[in-house]
C-alpha cells in the first residue's frame, strides 16, 4: 500500500515508518521537527543519540534498497498538507503528528493553547484535505486510552450500548480525560467521527495505551537508525523512565500511591497494530475505534517489575512515592476491552523479564548521557502556571566543560 506517516520523525512514527517500509509498503514520512524544538525548549534530550531524519532515512534506503520519501512541513499549514496528499496520493495516512505530552500541555496557558491548536487544527486540516483530494484514503489516527479516563465501569472500544428510560442506543463511550493534551485527542475524535458521518470518510481511531521499549527489528539494523528513548519528566513515559532511573541507582519516581492503572504496549506491537489497521480499512462513512494496548498494570506494579529485573542485573533499585504532581485517581477500578486488534491477528509481545533486561541494558549502555535533573516532576496540574527551572543537558554540560578547559 501507499502509506503516509505523519510525525515519522517521532518515537512511534519512526518505528512504524521503517516497519511498514520493511513489509514492502510504499512509505512517505512527513514531519516538521517541532518535537526536536520542544526538547530544546525544555532543555531535555533523548537517552539515545538520534540522528537527523534526512540522515537516518538515507541510511535506511541505502541499507534496504527501499525509497521511503520525506516531506518536511507542518500539518497545521493547509497548503503544505494538501500538496503532500495530492503529490503522494496515499491509500492510508497514519497520523502521529501531534504534541503528545500531558505534562507539556499543563505547563501554563501558552502550552495548553499551543497543544490544542497544533493537534486539533492539524487533524481538522487533514480531514478537509482528504475530503477535497483523496476521500477514499483511510485515516488511521493515533488517539489515546486516556480519552476515557478511569470510569468505575468497564471501558468499551469506542462505543457503549445504553438503555435509558426504556430506550436503547449505541453511543460514543463517555470521555473524562485528565490533561489538556488528552482533551485535544477527545476533540480530534469528535471531529473525525463527524467528518466520517457527513462526508463518508473512512477512519480508525487507535486509542493507544502507554508505549514502552525502543528497539524494533528495523532500527536494530544500524546504529544510525536508533529510535528515541525519552525519560525526562515531560516526555518520558513511565516504564522508560523507571528503567533509566534503575540503571543508575536512582529511586523510581512513583507518583502518589501508584495505584494508577493504565493500558501498556511494546513499541513492537504499536507498529504491528498500525499495519493491521491499514490492511483492514474502515468502510466509507465508518469511524472505528480500537483500544490499542496489550496488558494493564498499575504504576506500582511496573515499578516492582523493574525493581525485580534490576536486582537480577545487580542494580540497587529503591521505590520512592512522591506527592502526585497530577490530578488523577491513585486507586481506582480499571478494566478496558482490547479485543479488536487481537481479532485482526495481533500476537502481542507481553512485558517479560527478557524485555525488561533489554530495556535496562539500553539504559546502562547510554548511562553517560543520563541527566538526573530530568527525573523529578516540575509540572504540577494544580498550578495555573508552572515555572520550570532552566535545565542544562548532559551534552551541554560536556560542551561547556570542554570550552572551559
Report the catalytic residues: 144, 181, 185
Q: Residue 202 binds which entry of ligand USQ, ligand NAD, none, with Cβ cut-offs from 5 to 8 Å by kind?
A: none
Residues facing 319 on adjacent strands: 252
Q: Does 310 bind ligand USQ (CB under 6 A)?
A: no
Residues 335, 336, 340, 342: is their CA dihedral positive or negative?
Answer: negative
Region 207-226 residues binding ligand USQ, contact defined as CB under 6 A:
209-210
Region 125-184 residues binding ligand NAD, contact defined as CB under 6 A:
142, 144
Q: CA-based angle 230:232:235, to the nearest 5?
A: 60
In the numeric block, which cell numbers belong to residue 285? 462513512
Pick the binder of ligand NAD from 18, 34, 68, 359 (CB under 6 A): 34
Region 98-127 residues binding ligand USQ, contact defined as CB under 6 A:
100-102
Q: Does 144 bind ligand USQ (CB under 6 A)?
A: yes
Q: Residue 19 binds which entry of ligand NAD, ligand USQ, none, with Cβ cut-offs from 5 to 8 Å by kind?
A: none
Q: Residue 340 binds which entry of ligand USQ, ligand NAD, none, with Cβ cut-offs from 5 to 8 Å by kind?
A: none
Shortest Cβ distance from residue 35 to ligand NAD (Å)? 3
- Among the residues of 249-393, which ranges form H helices? 267-279, 299-312, 340-343, 353-365
Shortest Cβ distance from residue 4 to ligand NAD (Å)? 12
Residue nearest to ligand NAD (CB): 10
Q: Residue 47 binds which entry of ligand NAD, ligand USQ, none, with Cβ cut-offs from 5 to 8 Å by kind?
A: none
Shortest Cβ distance from residue 7 to ligand USQ (Å)? 11
Q: Does 111 bind ligand NAD (CB under 6 A)?
A: no
Query: DSSP state, 208?
Result: E
The residue to which cell 513499541 is assigned = 267
C-alpha of 341 from chain center: 18
Q: Residue 118 binds which entry of ligand USQ, ligand NAD, none, with Cβ cut-offs from 5 to 8 Å by kind?
A: ligand NAD
What does the CA dihedral 120, 121, 127, 133 come to, rounded to 10 degrees?
Answer: -160
Q: What does 106-172 look like in DSSP terms, one character per residue?
A: TS-HHHHHHHHIIIIIHHHHHHHHHHHH-TTSEEEEEEEGGGT---SS-B-SSEEEEEETTEEEEEE
Would you tell me how many other CB atoms lie within 10 Å of the CB of residue 179? Answer: 22
C-alpha of 88 from chain center: 25
Which residues would be at the binding site for ligand NAD (CB under 6 A)? 7, 9-13, 31-35, 74-76, 96-98, 100, 118, 122, 142, 144, 208, 210-211, 228, 237
Amino acid at each position: 500500500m501507499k502509506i503516509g506517516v505523519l510525525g515519522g520523525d517521532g518515537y512511534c512514527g519512526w518505528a512504524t515508518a521503517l516497519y511498514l517500509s520493511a513489509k514492502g509498503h510504499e512509505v512517505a514520512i512527513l514531519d516538521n521537527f517541532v518535537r526536536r524544538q520542544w526538547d530544546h525548549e525544555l532543555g531535555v534530550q533523548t537517552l539515545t543519540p538520534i540522528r537527523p531524519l534526512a540522515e537516518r532515512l538515507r541510511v535506511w534506503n541505502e541499507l534496504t534498497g527501499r525509497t521511503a520519501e520525506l516531506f518536511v512541513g507542518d500539518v497545521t499549514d493547509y497548503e503544505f498538507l494538501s500538496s503532500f496528499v495530492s503529490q503522494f496520493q496515499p491509500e492510508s495516512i497514519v497520523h502521529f503528528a501531534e504534541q503528545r505530552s500531558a505534562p507539556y500541555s499543563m505547563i501554563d496557558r501558552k502550552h495548553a493553547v499551543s497543544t490544542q491548536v497544533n493537534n486539533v487544527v492539524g487533524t481538522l486540516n487533514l480531514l478537509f484535505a482528504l475530503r477535497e483530494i483523496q476521500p477514499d484514503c483511510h485515516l488511521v489516527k493515533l488517539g489515546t486510552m486516556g480519552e476515557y479516563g478511569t470510569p468505575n465501569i468497564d471501558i468499551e472500544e469506542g462505543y457503549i450500548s445504553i438503555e435509558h428510560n426504556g430506550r436503547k442506543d449505541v453511543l460514543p463511550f463517555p470521555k473524562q480525560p485528565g490533561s489538556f493534551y488528552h482533551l485535544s485527542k477527545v476533540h480530534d475524535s469528535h471531529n473525525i467521527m463527524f467528518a466520517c458521518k457527513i462526508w463518508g470518510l473512512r477512519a480508525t481511531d487507535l486509542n493507544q495505551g502507554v508505549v514502552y521499549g525502543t528497539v524494533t527489528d528495523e532500527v536494530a539494523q544500524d546504529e544510525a537508525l536508533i529510535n528515541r528513548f525519552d525519560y525526562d519528566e515531560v516526555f518520558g513515559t513511565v516504564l522508560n523512565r523507571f528503567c533509566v532511573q534503575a540503571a543508575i541507582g536512582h529511586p523510581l519516581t512513583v507518583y502518589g500511591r501508584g495505584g494508577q492503572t493504565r493500558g501498556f504496549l511494546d513499541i513492537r506491537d504499536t507498529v504491528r497494530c498500525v499495519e493491521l489497521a491499514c490492511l483492514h480499512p474502515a468502510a466509507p462513512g465508518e469511524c472505528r475505534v480500537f483500544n490499542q494496548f496489550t496488558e494493564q498494570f498499575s504504576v506500582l506494579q511496573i515499578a516492582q517489575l523493574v525493581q525485580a529485573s534490576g536486582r537480577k542485573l545487580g542494580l540497587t533499585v529503591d521505590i520512592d512515592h512522591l506527592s502526585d504532581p497530577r490530578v488523577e485517581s491513585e486507586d481506582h477500578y480499571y478494566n478496558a476491552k482490547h479485543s479488536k486488534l487481537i481479532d485482526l491477528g495481533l500476537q502481542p509481545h507481553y512485558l517479560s523479564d527478557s524485555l525488561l533486561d533489554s530495556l535496562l541494558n539500553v539504559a546502562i549502555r547510554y548511562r553517560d548521557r543520563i541527566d538526573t535533573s530530568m527525573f523529578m516532576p516540575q509540572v504540577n496540574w494544580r498550578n495555573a502556571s508552572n515555572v520550570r527551572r532552566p535545565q542544562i543537558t548532559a551534552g551541554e554540560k560536556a560542551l561547556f566543560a570542554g570550552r572551559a578547559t
